[in-house]
Chains A and B, each alone.
Chain A
Protein backbone atom coordinates (compact mmCIF):
# COMPACT_ATOMS: atom_id res chain seq x y z
CA UNK A 1 0.00 0.00 0.00
CA UNK A 2 1.38 3.41 -0.92
CA UNK A 3 0.35 4.91 2.43
CA UNK A 4 2.30 2.42 4.53
CA UNK A 5 5.28 2.99 2.22
CA UNK A 6 5.16 6.65 3.30
CA UNK A 7 5.42 5.67 6.95
CA UNK A 8 8.33 3.39 6.19
CA UNK A 9 10.26 6.10 4.40
CA UNK A 10 9.62 8.72 7.05
CA UNK A 11 10.57 6.18 9.70
CA UNK A 12 13.98 5.67 8.17
CA UNK A 13 14.63 9.39 8.13
CA UNK A 14 13.58 9.52 11.76
CA UNK A 15 15.99 6.77 12.71
CA UNK A 16 18.80 8.64 11.00
CA UNK A 17 18.06 11.81 12.94
CA UNK A 18 17.61 9.92 16.20
CA UNK A 19 21.06 8.45 15.69
CA UNK A 20 22.44 11.98 15.66
CA UNK A 21 20.80 12.57 19.02
CA UNK A 22 18.05 14.94 17.83
CA UNK A 23 14.37 14.59 18.50
CA UNK A 24 12.74 13.87 15.20
CA UNK A 25 9.59 15.80 14.48
CA UNK A 26 9.06 16.50 10.80
CA UNK A 27 6.62 19.30 10.17
CA UNK A 28 3.21 18.07 9.05
CA UNK A 29 3.76 19.96 5.82
CA UNK A 30 6.76 17.72 5.18
CA UNK A 31 4.73 14.59 5.88
CA UNK A 32 2.01 15.65 3.46
CA UNK A 33 4.55 16.60 0.81
CA UNK A 34 6.33 13.27 1.27
CA UNK A 35 3.04 11.41 0.85
CA UNK A 36 2.22 13.43 -2.25
CA UNK A 37 5.63 12.79 -3.77
CA UNK A 38 5.44 9.10 -3.00
CA UNK A 39 1.98 8.67 -4.51
CA UNK A 40 3.05 10.66 -7.55
CA UNK A 41 6.03 8.38 -8.19
CA UNK A 42 3.98 5.24 -7.54
CA UNK A 43 1.18 6.32 -9.88
CA UNK A 44 3.62 7.44 -12.56
CA UNK A 45 5.37 4.07 -12.62
CA UNK A 46 2.45 1.77 -11.89
CA UNK A 47 1.36 1.01 -15.50
CA UNK A 48 4.82 -0.40 -16.19
CA UNK A 49 4.19 -3.12 -13.63
CA UNK A 50 0.49 -3.80 -14.08
CA UNK A 51 -1.57 -5.94 -16.39
CA UNK A 52 -4.26 -4.41 -18.57
CA UNK A 53 -7.05 -5.26 -16.13
CA UNK A 54 -5.30 -3.49 -13.27
CA UNK A 55 -4.45 -0.45 -15.35
CA UNK A 56 -8.17 -0.02 -15.95
CA UNK A 57 -8.88 -0.52 -12.27
CA UNK A 58 -6.35 2.11 -11.20
CA UNK A 59 -7.56 4.52 -13.90
CA UNK A 60 -10.99 4.32 -12.31
CA UNK A 61 -9.41 4.98 -8.91
CA UNK A 62 -7.69 8.09 -10.30
CA UNK A 63 -10.94 9.42 -11.75
CA UNK A 64 -12.80 8.81 -8.50
CA UNK A 65 -9.92 10.47 -6.62
CA UNK A 66 -10.59 13.58 -8.67
CA UNK A 67 -14.19 13.43 -7.52
CA UNK A 68 -13.24 12.95 -3.87
CA UNK A 69 -10.81 15.84 -4.21
CA UNK A 70 -13.67 18.11 -5.23
CA UNK A 71 -15.58 17.12 -2.10
CA UNK A 72 -12.56 17.71 0.12
CA UNK A 73 -12.25 21.20 -1.32
CA UNK A 74 -15.83 22.13 -0.41
CA UNK A 75 -16.16 20.36 2.92
CA UNK A 76 -12.58 20.06 4.18
CA UNK A 77 -11.63 23.61 3.25
CA UNK A 78 -14.70 25.78 2.78
CA UNK A 79 -16.91 23.99 5.32
CA UNK A 80 -19.76 23.45 2.84
CA UNK A 81 -21.38 20.05 3.32
CA UNK A 82 -22.14 18.95 -0.22
CA UNK A 83 -24.15 15.77 -0.42
CA UNK A 84 -24.57 16.26 -4.13
CA UNK A 85 -21.16 16.20 -5.81
CA UNK A 86 -22.43 13.37 -8.04
CA UNK A 87 -24.83 15.82 -9.67
CA UNK A 88 -21.94 17.71 -11.27
CA UNK A 89 -20.09 14.48 -12.05
CA UNK A 90 -23.10 12.90 -13.71
CA UNK A 91 -24.31 16.00 -15.52
CA UNK A 92 -20.90 16.47 -17.10
CA UNK A 93 -20.78 12.77 -17.98
CA UNK A 94 -24.18 12.91 -19.67
CA UNK A 95 -23.24 16.10 -21.52
CA UNK A 96 -20.10 14.66 -23.08
CA UNK A 97 -21.94 11.43 -23.82
CA UNK A 98 -24.51 13.45 -25.77
CA UNK A 99 -21.70 15.35 -27.53
CA UNK A 100 -20.28 12.04 -28.66
CA UNK A 101 -23.59 10.37 -29.52
CA UNK A 102 -25.48 13.22 -31.20
CA UNK A 103 -22.80 15.58 -32.47
CA UNK A 104 -19.96 13.13 -33.04
CA UNK A 105 -17.66 15.34 -30.96
CA UNK A 106 -15.14 13.19 -29.13
CA UNK A 107 -11.99 15.33 -29.20
CA UNK A 108 -10.33 15.45 -25.80
CA UNK A 109 -9.73 19.17 -26.34
CA UNK A 110 -13.47 19.79 -26.57
CA UNK A 111 -15.07 17.24 -24.29
CA UNK A 112 -12.91 17.72 -21.22
CA UNK A 113 -13.21 21.55 -21.20
CA UNK A 114 -16.93 21.08 -21.81
CA UNK A 115 -17.20 18.69 -18.84
CA UNK A 116 -15.33 21.20 -16.70
CA UNK A 117 -17.62 24.01 -17.82
CA UNK A 118 -20.81 22.01 -17.18
CA UNK A 119 -19.65 21.24 -13.63
CA UNK A 120 -18.67 24.86 -13.03
CA UNK A 121 -21.89 26.41 -14.31
CA UNK A 122 -24.19 23.88 -12.69
CA UNK A 123 -22.39 24.20 -9.34
CA UNK A 124 -22.58 27.97 -9.58
CA UNK A 125 -26.34 27.78 -10.18
CA UNK A 126 -26.78 25.46 -7.20
CA UNK A 127 -24.58 27.72 -5.07
CA UNK A 128 -26.50 30.83 -6.07
CA UNK A 129 -29.66 29.12 -4.97
CA UNK A 130 -28.36 27.62 -1.73
CA UNK A 131 -25.71 30.05 -0.52
CA UNK A 132 -26.33 33.53 -1.83
CA UNK A 133 -29.37 34.56 0.21
CA UNK A 134 -29.33 37.39 2.71
CA UNK A 135 -29.14 35.09 5.71
CA UNK A 136 -26.29 32.60 5.89
CA UNK A 137 -27.66 29.07 5.33
CA UNK A 138 -27.10 26.33 7.89
CA UNK A 139 -24.96 23.27 7.15
CA UNK A 140 -28.07 21.10 7.28
CA UNK A 141 -29.85 23.27 4.74
CA UNK A 142 -26.95 23.10 2.31
CA UNK A 143 -26.51 19.35 2.85
CA UNK A 144 -30.20 18.69 2.18
CA UNK A 145 -30.25 21.13 -0.72
CA UNK A 146 -27.35 19.46 -2.50
CA UNK A 147 -28.76 16.02 -1.69
CA UNK A 148 -32.06 17.04 -3.25
CA UNK A 149 -30.24 18.28 -6.34
CA UNK A 150 -28.51 14.95 -6.73
CA UNK A 151 -31.74 13.02 -6.20
CA UNK A 152 -33.63 15.21 -8.67
CA UNK A 153 -30.87 14.76 -11.27
CA UNK A 154 -31.06 11.01 -10.87
CA UNK A 155 -34.87 10.98 -11.27
CA UNK A 156 -34.73 13.34 -14.22
CA UNK A 157 -32.24 11.13 -16.05
CA UNK A 158 -34.32 8.02 -15.31
CA UNK A 159 -37.48 9.55 -16.67
CA UNK A 160 -36.13 11.37 -19.72
CA UNK A 161 -36.29 9.29 -22.88
CA UNK A 162 -33.74 11.47 -24.69
CA UNK A 163 -31.20 10.59 -22.00
CA UNK A 164 -31.90 6.89 -22.36
CA UNK A 165 -34.08 6.55 -19.26
CA UNK A 166 -33.11 3.77 -16.85
CA UNK A 167 -30.46 2.43 -19.23
CA UNK A 168 -28.60 5.66 -19.70
CA UNK A 169 -26.48 6.14 -22.82
CA UNK A 170 -24.64 2.95 -23.80
CA UNK A 171 -21.67 2.55 -26.11
CA UNK A 172 -20.20 6.05 -26.23
CA UNK A 173 -17.55 6.18 -28.98
CA UNK A 174 -13.99 6.52 -27.67
CA UNK A 175 -12.38 9.84 -26.90
CA UNK A 176 -9.98 11.07 -29.57
CA UNK A 177 -6.93 13.31 -29.76
CA UNK A 178 -6.62 14.11 -33.44
CA UNK A 179 -6.38 10.75 -35.25
CA UNK A 180 -5.56 8.83 -32.06
CA UNK A 181 -8.27 6.99 -30.18
CA UNK A 182 -7.93 7.21 -26.41
CA UNK A 183 -9.35 3.89 -25.34
CA UNK A 184 -9.06 2.44 -21.89
CA UNK A 185 -5.55 1.34 -21.08
CA UNK A 186 -2.20 2.97 -20.48
CA UNK A 187 -2.87 6.11 -22.55
CA UNK A 188 -6.12 6.79 -20.79
CA UNK A 189 -4.45 6.05 -17.50
CA UNK A 190 -1.95 8.84 -18.07
CA UNK A 191 -4.70 11.20 -19.24
CA UNK A 192 -6.54 10.59 -15.96
CA UNK A 193 -3.33 10.94 -13.95
CA UNK A 194 -2.46 14.22 -15.68
CA UNK A 195 -5.96 15.54 -14.96
CA UNK A 196 -5.69 14.54 -11.32
CA UNK A 197 -2.27 16.15 -10.95
CA UNK A 198 -3.45 19.36 -12.61
CA UNK A 199 -6.58 19.58 -10.44
CA UNK A 200 -4.62 18.64 -7.34
CA UNK A 201 -1.99 21.29 -8.01
CA UNK A 202 -4.71 23.90 -8.57
CA UNK A 203 -6.41 22.95 -5.30
CA UNK A 204 -3.14 22.98 -3.42
CA UNK A 205 -2.32 26.40 -4.79
CA UNK A 206 -5.76 27.66 -3.83
CA UNK A 207 -5.80 26.36 -0.26
CA UNK A 208 -2.28 27.60 0.46
CA UNK A 209 -3.05 31.10 -0.78
CA UNK A 210 -4.49 34.03 1.10
CA UNK A 211 -7.86 32.83 -0.15
CA UNK A 212 -7.07 29.54 1.61
CA UNK A 213 -6.58 31.52 4.82
CA UNK A 214 -9.97 33.13 4.30
CA UNK A 215 -11.47 29.66 3.79
CA UNK A 216 -9.85 28.46 7.02
CA UNK A 217 -11.46 31.44 8.75
CA UNK A 218 -14.85 30.61 7.26
CA UNK A 219 -14.53 27.00 8.33
CA UNK A 220 -13.62 27.92 11.90
CA UNK A 221 -15.97 30.82 12.54
CA UNK A 222 -18.06 31.91 9.61
CA UNK A 223 -20.08 34.51 11.52
CA UNK A 224 -16.96 36.32 12.69
CA UNK A 225 -15.65 36.63 9.15
CA UNK A 226 -18.49 38.90 8.06
CA UNK A 227 -17.46 41.42 10.71
CA UNK A 228 -14.09 41.74 9.02
CA UNK A 229 -15.83 42.65 5.78
CA UNK A 230 -15.45 39.34 3.95
CA UNK A 231 -18.13 38.46 1.44
CA UNK A 232 -18.38 35.05 3.09
CA UNK A 233 -21.18 33.61 0.97
CA UNK A 234 -19.65 34.71 -2.34
CA UNK A 235 -16.33 33.15 -1.40
CA UNK A 236 -18.13 29.92 -0.57
CA UNK A 237 -20.05 30.06 -3.84
CA UNK A 238 -16.80 30.51 -5.77
CA UNK A 239 -15.09 27.55 -4.10
CA UNK A 240 -18.22 25.45 -4.56
CA UNK A 241 -18.19 26.27 -8.28
CA UNK A 242 -14.49 25.41 -8.63
CA UNK A 243 -15.14 22.09 -6.92
CA UNK A 244 -18.09 21.56 -9.27
CA UNK A 245 -15.74 22.05 -12.21
CA UNK A 246 -13.38 19.40 -10.83
CA UNK A 247 -16.29 17.00 -10.31
CA UNK A 248 -17.37 17.77 -13.89
CA UNK A 249 -13.91 16.97 -15.26
CA UNK A 250 -14.02 13.72 -13.36
CA UNK A 251 -17.44 12.91 -14.84
CA UNK A 252 -16.23 13.60 -18.38
CA UNK A 253 -13.26 11.28 -17.92
CA UNK A 254 -15.44 8.61 -16.34
CA UNK A 255 -18.02 8.62 -19.14
CA UNK A 256 -15.44 7.97 -21.87
CA UNK A 257 -13.50 5.51 -19.75
CA UNK A 258 -16.49 3.31 -19.01
CA UNK A 259 -18.02 3.90 -22.43
CA UNK A 260 -21.48 4.54 -21.05
CA UNK A 261 -23.37 6.73 -18.60
CA UNK A 262 -26.38 5.82 -16.47
CA UNK A 263 -28.57 7.57 -13.92
CA UNK A 264 -26.63 6.30 -10.88
CA UNK A 265 -23.82 8.63 -11.92
CA UNK A 266 -25.99 11.54 -10.77
CA UNK A 267 -27.55 9.94 -7.75
CA UNK A 268 -27.56 9.96 -4.01
CA UNK A 269 -25.64 6.71 -3.61
CA UNK A 270 -22.61 7.98 -5.47
CA UNK A 271 -22.87 11.35 -3.68
CA UNK A 272 -22.75 9.57 -0.34
CA UNK A 273 -19.93 7.34 -1.53
CA UNK A 274 -17.87 10.47 -2.29
CA UNK A 275 -18.45 11.76 1.23
CA UNK A 276 -17.31 8.40 2.61
CA UNK A 277 -14.16 8.35 0.47
CA UNK A 278 -13.13 11.72 1.83
CA UNK A 279 -14.09 11.07 5.46
CA UNK A 280 -12.37 7.69 5.38
CA UNK A 281 -9.13 9.19 4.13
CA UNK A 282 -9.51 12.36 6.15
CA UNK A 283 -10.62 15.79 4.98
CA UNK A 284 -8.68 19.01 4.99
CA UNK A 285 -5.40 17.80 3.50
CA UNK A 286 -6.38 17.06 -0.13
CA UNK A 287 -4.11 14.00 -0.11
CA UNK A 288 -6.41 12.38 2.46
CA UNK A 289 -9.23 12.25 -0.08
CA UNK A 290 -6.99 10.52 -2.61
CA UNK A 291 -5.85 8.02 0.01
CA UNK A 292 -9.48 7.41 0.98
CA UNK A 293 -10.40 6.45 -2.58
CA UNK A 294 -7.37 4.19 -2.95
CA UNK A 295 -8.04 2.49 0.38
CA UNK A 296 -11.78 1.93 -0.10
CA UNK A 297 -11.47 0.80 -3.72
CA UNK A 298 -8.69 -1.67 -2.95
CA UNK A 299 -10.39 -3.00 0.17
CA UNK A 300 -13.72 -3.37 -1.67
CA UNK A 301 -12.04 -5.21 -4.49
CA UNK A 302 -10.17 -7.60 -2.24
CA UNK A 303 -13.22 -8.23 -0.04
CA UNK A 304 -15.48 -8.82 -3.02
CA UNK A 305 -12.95 -11.31 -4.33
CA UNK A 306 -12.56 -13.23 -1.09
CA UNK A 307 -16.10 -12.98 0.32
CA UNK A 308 -18.31 -12.68 -2.79
CA UNK A 309 -21.57 -12.61 -0.80
CA UNK A 310 -20.99 -10.82 2.51
CA UNK A 311 -18.32 -8.30 1.48
CA UNK A 312 -20.57 -5.22 1.64
CA UNK A 313 -21.28 -5.99 5.28
CA UNK A 314 -17.60 -6.29 6.10
CA UNK A 315 -16.86 -3.07 4.23
CA UNK A 316 -19.66 -1.28 6.07
CA UNK A 317 -18.34 -2.40 9.44
CA UNK A 318 -14.83 -1.37 8.48
CA UNK A 319 -16.04 2.11 7.48
CA UNK A 320 -17.92 2.43 10.75
CA UNK A 321 -14.86 1.40 12.75
CA UNK A 322 -12.70 4.02 11.07
CA UNK A 323 -15.33 6.75 11.46
CA UNK A 324 -15.77 5.81 15.14
CA UNK A 325 -12.15 5.53 16.18
CA UNK A 326 -10.54 7.82 13.65
CA UNK A 327 -13.18 10.49 13.03
CA UNK A 328 -10.57 12.54 11.21
CA UNK A 329 -9.80 9.68 8.86
CA UNK A 330 -6.70 7.68 8.01
CA UNK A 331 -4.63 10.81 7.44
CA UNK A 332 -4.93 11.70 11.13
CA UNK A 333 -2.58 8.80 11.87
CA UNK A 334 0.14 10.89 10.29
CA UNK A 335 -0.88 14.54 10.48
CA UNK A 336 -2.21 16.16 13.66
CA UNK A 337 -5.40 18.18 13.55
CA UNK A 338 -3.90 21.56 14.28
CA UNK A 339 -1.42 21.12 11.50
CA UNK A 340 -4.09 20.47 8.93
CA UNK A 341 -5.30 24.05 9.32
CA UNK A 342 -1.99 25.22 7.90
CA UNK A 343 0.22 28.27 8.18
CA UNK A 344 -0.33 31.10 5.76
CA UNK A 345 1.63 34.27 6.51
CA UNK A 346 5.13 34.87 5.18
CA UNK A 347 6.35 35.71 8.65
CA UNK A 348 4.81 32.65 10.25
CA UNK A 349 6.07 30.31 7.52
CA UNK A 350 9.24 29.39 9.31
CA UNK A 351 8.68 29.62 13.05
CA UNK A 352 12.42 30.16 13.53
CA UNK A 353 12.07 33.62 12.02
CA UNK A 354 9.54 34.65 14.60
CA UNK A 355 11.53 35.16 17.82
CA UNK A 356 9.23 32.93 19.84
CA UNK A 357 11.94 30.51 20.90
CA UNK A 358 14.22 33.42 21.73
CA UNK A 359 11.52 34.87 23.97
CA UNK A 360 10.98 31.56 25.73
CA UNK A 361 14.71 31.16 26.23
CA UNK A 362 15.03 34.59 27.84
CA UNK A 363 12.15 33.97 30.21
Chain B
Protein backbone atom coordinates (compact mmCIF):
# COMPACT_ATOMS: atom_id res chain seq x y z
CA UNK B 1 0.00 0.00 0.00
CA UNK B 2 1.20 3.48 -0.81
CA UNK B 3 2.36 5.74 2.01
CA UNK B 4 0.20 8.56 0.75
CA UNK B 5 -2.77 8.11 -1.50
CA UNK B 6 -4.82 11.02 -2.79
CA UNK B 7 -7.78 10.07 -4.95
CA UNK B 8 -10.00 12.41 -6.90
CA UNK B 9 -8.81 15.48 -5.04
CA UNK B 10 -10.63 18.60 -6.19
CA UNK B 11 -10.17 22.11 -4.93
CA UNK B 12 -12.34 24.98 -6.01
CA UNK B 13 -11.69 28.63 -5.10
CA UNK B 14 -14.84 30.50 -6.04
CA UNK B 15 -15.08 30.09 -9.81
CA UNK B 16 -11.54 28.84 -10.21
CA UNK B 17 -10.93 25.10 -10.20
CA UNK B 18 -7.38 24.76 -8.90
CA UNK B 19 -7.41 20.98 -8.76
CA UNK B 20 -9.71 18.66 -10.64
CA UNK B 21 -9.95 14.97 -9.76
CA UNK B 22 -6.26 14.60 -9.04
CA UNK B 23 -4.91 11.13 -8.21
CA UNK B 24 -1.53 11.17 -6.56
CA UNK B 25 0.36 8.46 -4.67
CA UNK B 26 3.72 8.36 -2.93
CA UNK B 27 5.46 5.09 -2.10
CA UNK B 28 7.69 4.45 0.88
CA UNK B 29 11.24 5.77 0.36
CA UNK B 30 10.36 7.62 -2.83
CA UNK B 31 11.63 11.02 -3.89
CA UNK B 32 8.65 12.23 -5.83
CA UNK B 33 8.81 15.39 -7.93
CA UNK B 34 5.73 17.50 -8.63
CA UNK B 35 6.14 19.77 -11.61
CA UNK B 36 3.99 21.87 -13.86
CA UNK B 37 3.64 25.39 -15.20
CA UNK B 38 2.67 28.29 -12.96
CA UNK B 39 -0.87 27.95 -11.72
CA UNK B 40 -1.05 24.23 -12.48
CA UNK B 41 -2.05 23.48 -8.88
CA UNK B 42 1.19 22.05 -7.47
CA UNK B 43 1.23 24.13 -4.31
CA UNK B 44 -2.50 23.71 -3.83
CA UNK B 45 -2.13 19.95 -3.94
CA UNK B 46 0.67 20.13 -1.39
CA UNK B 47 -1.45 22.33 0.84
CA UNK B 48 -4.38 19.93 0.63
CA UNK B 49 -2.09 17.10 1.66
CA UNK B 50 -0.60 19.04 4.58
CA UNK B 51 -3.93 20.44 5.73
CA UNK B 52 -3.33 24.12 4.98
CA UNK B 53 -6.33 23.86 2.63
CA UNK B 54 -9.23 21.45 2.83
CA UNK B 55 -10.11 19.83 -0.50
CA UNK B 56 -13.55 20.48 -1.96
CA UNK B 57 -13.76 16.84 -2.98
CA UNK B 58 -11.85 13.57 -3.00
CA UNK B 59 -10.02 11.65 -0.32
CA UNK B 60 -6.51 11.65 1.10
CA UNK B 61 -5.16 8.65 2.95
CA UNK B 62 -1.89 8.62 4.82
CA UNK B 63 -0.49 5.40 6.32
CA UNK B 64 -3.87 3.82 5.69
CA UNK B 65 -5.78 6.49 7.62
CA UNK B 66 -8.20 8.93 6.08
CA UNK B 67 -6.81 12.40 6.81
CA UNK B 68 -8.95 14.38 4.37
CA UNK B 69 -10.49 16.52 7.12
CA UNK B 70 -7.77 16.26 9.78
CA UNK B 71 -6.25 19.42 11.26
CA UNK B 72 -2.66 20.35 10.29
CA UNK B 73 -1.61 19.55 13.82
CA UNK B 74 -3.07 16.03 13.65
CA UNK B 75 -1.38 15.41 10.31
CA UNK B 76 1.96 16.56 11.70
CA UNK B 77 1.52 14.15 14.57
CA UNK B 78 0.80 11.34 12.12
CA UNK B 79 4.14 11.98 10.40
CA UNK B 80 3.56 14.58 7.70
CA UNK B 81 5.86 17.56 7.53
CA UNK B 82 5.75 20.61 5.29
CA UNK B 83 8.09 23.43 4.31
CA UNK B 84 6.65 26.63 2.96
CA UNK B 85 7.32 28.30 -0.35
CA UNK B 86 7.75 31.61 1.42
CA UNK B 87 10.08 30.71 4.25
CA UNK B 88 8.36 30.88 7.57
CA UNK B 89 11.17 30.46 10.02
CA UNK B 90 10.83 32.35 13.30
CA UNK B 91 13.01 35.39 12.62
CA UNK B 92 13.50 36.62 16.19
CA UNK B 93 14.45 33.23 17.56
CA UNK B 94 17.94 31.80 17.27
CA UNK B 95 18.56 29.14 14.63
CA UNK B 96 19.06 26.65 17.43
CA UNK B 97 15.73 27.55 19.03
CA UNK B 98 13.96 27.31 15.68
CA UNK B 99 15.02 23.68 15.42
CA UNK B 100 14.28 22.98 19.08
CA UNK B 101 10.83 24.45 18.57
CA UNK B 102 10.14 22.01 15.75
CA UNK B 103 11.75 19.12 17.57
CA UNK B 104 9.81 19.43 20.83
CA UNK B 105 6.45 19.92 19.14
CA UNK B 106 5.09 16.55 20.09
CA UNK B 107 6.35 16.47 23.66
CA UNK B 108 3.65 16.31 26.33
CA UNK B 109 2.72 19.50 28.15
CA UNK B 110 4.37 18.55 31.43
CA UNK B 111 7.68 17.81 29.72
CA UNK B 112 7.54 21.24 28.09
CA UNK B 113 6.55 23.06 31.26
CA UNK B 114 9.38 21.56 33.28
CA UNK B 115 11.82 21.58 30.33
CA UNK B 116 12.46 17.88 30.81
CA UNK B 117 13.51 17.23 27.22
CA UNK B 118 15.68 20.32 26.67
CA UNK B 119 18.99 18.68 27.57
CA UNK B 120 18.08 15.42 25.85
CA UNK B 121 17.23 17.09 22.55
CA UNK B 122 20.49 19.04 22.40
CA UNK B 123 22.41 16.33 20.55
CA UNK B 124 19.65 15.96 17.97
CA UNK B 125 19.49 19.73 17.35
CA UNK B 126 23.25 19.83 16.78
CA UNK B 127 23.01 16.81 14.50
CA UNK B 128 20.26 18.32 12.36
CA UNK B 129 22.04 21.67 12.12
CA UNK B 130 25.19 19.88 10.97
CA UNK B 131 23.21 17.86 8.42
CA UNK B 132 21.78 21.04 6.90
CA UNK B 133 25.07 22.96 6.81
CA UNK B 134 24.02 25.25 9.66
CA UNK B 135 26.31 23.91 12.38
CA UNK B 136 28.08 27.20 13.00
CA UNK B 137 24.94 29.35 12.79
CA UNK B 138 23.12 28.05 15.87
CA UNK B 139 23.37 31.19 17.96
CA UNK B 140 22.47 33.60 15.16
CA UNK B 141 18.94 34.95 14.88
CA UNK B 142 17.12 33.23 12.04
CA UNK B 143 16.51 36.65 10.51
CA UNK B 144 20.26 37.06 10.05
CA UNK B 145 20.52 34.03 7.74
CA UNK B 146 20.80 34.37 3.98
CA UNK B 147 17.77 33.36 1.94
CA UNK B 148 19.33 30.02 1.05
CA UNK B 149 20.23 29.31 4.65
CA UNK B 150 16.66 30.11 5.71
CA UNK B 151 15.42 27.51 3.24
CA UNK B 152 17.78 24.98 4.76
CA UNK B 153 16.57 25.92 8.19
CA UNK B 154 13.01 25.28 6.96
CA UNK B 155 14.06 21.83 5.85
CA UNK B 156 15.88 21.26 9.14
CA UNK B 157 12.71 22.14 11.02
CA UNK B 158 10.55 19.97 8.82
CA UNK B 159 12.92 17.05 9.36
CA UNK B 160 13.18 17.56 13.09
CA UNK B 161 10.17 15.46 14.00
CA UNK B 162 11.46 12.53 11.88
CA UNK B 163 8.46 12.64 9.55
CA UNK B 164 7.41 9.71 7.38
CA UNK B 165 6.68 12.06 4.51
CA UNK B 166 8.33 15.40 3.87
CA UNK B 167 6.58 17.92 1.62
CA UNK B 168 8.91 20.54 0.16
CA UNK B 169 7.35 23.52 -1.59
CA UNK B 170 10.00 24.97 -3.92
CA UNK B 171 12.95 24.42 -1.61
CA UNK B 172 15.39 26.06 -4.02
CA UNK B 173 13.28 29.15 -4.75
CA UNK B 174 15.53 32.21 -4.99
CA UNK B 175 18.73 30.21 -4.47
CA UNK B 176 22.01 30.64 -6.30
CA UNK B 177 23.24 27.83 -8.56
CA UNK B 178 25.77 26.78 -5.96
CA UNK B 179 23.11 26.71 -3.25
CA UNK B 180 20.83 24.62 -5.45
CA UNK B 181 23.54 22.07 -5.96
CA UNK B 182 24.17 21.94 -2.23
CA UNK B 183 20.45 21.55 -1.56
CA UNK B 184 20.24 18.64 -3.98
CA UNK B 185 23.16 16.98 -2.23
CA UNK B 186 21.41 17.51 1.10
CA UNK B 187 18.12 16.00 0.00
CA UNK B 188 19.29 12.77 -1.56
CA UNK B 189 20.56 11.14 1.65
CA UNK B 190 17.34 12.11 3.46
CA UNK B 191 15.34 9.57 1.52
CA UNK B 192 16.80 6.85 3.68
CA UNK B 193 14.78 8.27 6.55
CA UNK B 194 11.58 9.39 4.83
CA UNK B 195 9.72 9.80 1.58
CA UNK B 196 9.85 13.22 -0.01
CA UNK B 197 7.57 15.17 -2.31
CA UNK B 198 9.19 18.18 -3.98
CA UNK B 199 7.41 20.93 -5.85
CA UNK B 200 9.88 22.59 -8.17
CA UNK B 201 10.29 24.92 -11.10
CA UNK B 202 13.89 24.03 -11.79
CA UNK B 203 13.72 20.95 -14.02
CA UNK B 204 17.44 20.28 -14.11
CA UNK B 205 17.44 20.17 -10.34
CA UNK B 206 14.47 17.86 -10.07
CA UNK B 207 15.57 15.55 -12.90
CA UNK B 208 18.75 14.76 -11.07
CA UNK B 209 17.34 13.77 -7.72
CA UNK B 210 13.80 12.40 -8.20
CA UNK B 211 12.70 8.81 -8.87
CA UNK B 212 9.20 9.61 -9.98
CA UNK B 213 7.69 12.72 -11.49
CA UNK B 214 4.10 13.83 -11.63
CA UNK B 215 3.26 16.56 -14.11
CA UNK B 216 0.28 18.78 -13.39
CA UNK B 217 -1.34 21.06 -15.90
CA UNK B 218 -4.36 23.27 -15.23
CA UNK B 219 -5.30 21.34 -12.15
CA UNK B 220 -5.14 17.88 -13.75
CA UNK B 221 -2.51 15.15 -13.73
CA UNK B 222 -0.96 15.05 -17.16
CA UNK B 223 1.40 12.17 -16.59
CA UNK B 224 3.13 10.22 -13.84
CA UNK B 225 6.25 8.14 -14.34
CA UNK B 226 10.00 7.83 -14.06
CA UNK B 227 12.17 10.68 -15.23
CA UNK B 228 12.86 8.87 -18.55
CA UNK B 229 9.19 8.16 -19.16
CA UNK B 230 8.29 11.78 -18.52
CA UNK B 231 11.05 13.04 -20.78
CA UNK B 232 9.78 10.78 -23.58
CA UNK B 233 6.13 11.54 -23.03
CA UNK B 234 4.65 13.33 -26.00
CA UNK B 235 1.83 14.81 -23.97
CA UNK B 236 4.24 16.39 -21.52
CA UNK B 237 6.46 17.67 -24.27
CA UNK B 238 3.55 19.31 -25.97
CA UNK B 239 2.40 21.40 -23.06
CA UNK B 240 5.40 21.83 -20.93
CA UNK B 241 8.73 20.16 -21.39
CA UNK B 242 9.44 21.56 -24.80
CA UNK B 243 12.98 22.35 -23.85
CA UNK B 244 13.86 18.85 -22.60
Which residues of A line the B interface, CB within 8 A? 134, 206, 209-211, 213-214, 216-217, 220-221, 224-232, 235, 238, 337-338, 341, 343-348, 351, 354-356, 358-359
B104 and A213 contacting across the interface, CB-CB below 8 Å: yes
Least CB distance from B119 to A in Å reads 6
Complex Cα distance, B99 from A210, in Å, reads 12
Instruction: Tell me if B97 and A213 are in contact (CB < 8 A).
Output: yes
A230 to B107 CA separation, bound complex (whole angstroms): 9
Q: Determine if A227 and B139 form an interchain contact, defined as CB atoms under 8 angstroms apart.
A: no
With a CB–CB cut-off of 8 A, which chain B residues contact A351?
Answer: 139
9 contacts between A and B (CB under 8 A): A214-B101, A221-B90, A226-B73, A227-B52, A227-B82, A229-B76, A229-B161, A354-B138, A355-B136
A210 to B52, CA, bound (A): 26
Contact of A229 among B52, B105, B109, B111 (CB under 8 A): B105
A356→B94 CA distance, assembly (Å): 12
Q: Which residue of A220, A230, A345, A356 contacts B90 across the interface (Cβ within 8 Å)?
A: A220
Interface centre among A232, A337, A341, A354 (most CB of B within 10 A): A354
Report whether A224 and B105 are in contact in the complex, using a CB–CB cutoff of 8 Å.
no
Contact call B104/A214, Cβ cutoff below 8 A: yes
Cβ B93 vs Cβ A347 within 8 A: no
Chain B interface size band reads: 35 or more
Contact A345 B118 (CB under 8 A): yes
Give the 9 A-B residue pairs with the shortest CB-CB distance, closest first: A229-B76, A228-B105, A348-B96, A359-B136, A354-B139, A211-B112, A351-B139, A341-B92, A226-B72
Give the residue of A134, A209, A347 whose beta carbon is less than 8 angstroms from that of B114.
A209
B112 and A209 contacting across the interface, CB-CB below 8 Å? yes
A-side contacts of B101, CB under 8 Å: 213-214, 216-217, 228
Q: In the complex, A229→B77 CA distance in Å? A: 5
A356 in contact with B107 given A206-B113, A345-B100 (CB within 8 Å)? no
Q: Is the beta-carbon distance between B157 and A214 smaller than 8 angstroms?
A: no
**What is the CA–CA distance of A221 and B125 in the complex, to the nearest angstrom?**
21
In the complex, whether B209 has a CB less than 8 A from a CB of chain A is no
Q: Note all chain A residues with C-beta closer than 8 A to B52.
A: 227
User: In the complex, which residue of chain B has the Cβ closest to the Cβ of A206?
Assistant: B113
Contacts A210-B111, A211-B113 given; indicate if A346 touches B92 (C-beta within 8 A).
no
Chain B nearest CB from A97 CB (Å) reads 33
Task: Name the CB-closest residue of B to A216.
Answer: B93
Is the CB–CB distance between B88 and A344 below 8 Å? Answer: no
Contact, CB under 8 Å: B88 / A221: yes
Question: Which residues in A have their C-beta under 8 angstroms from that of B94?
Answer: 343, 345, 348
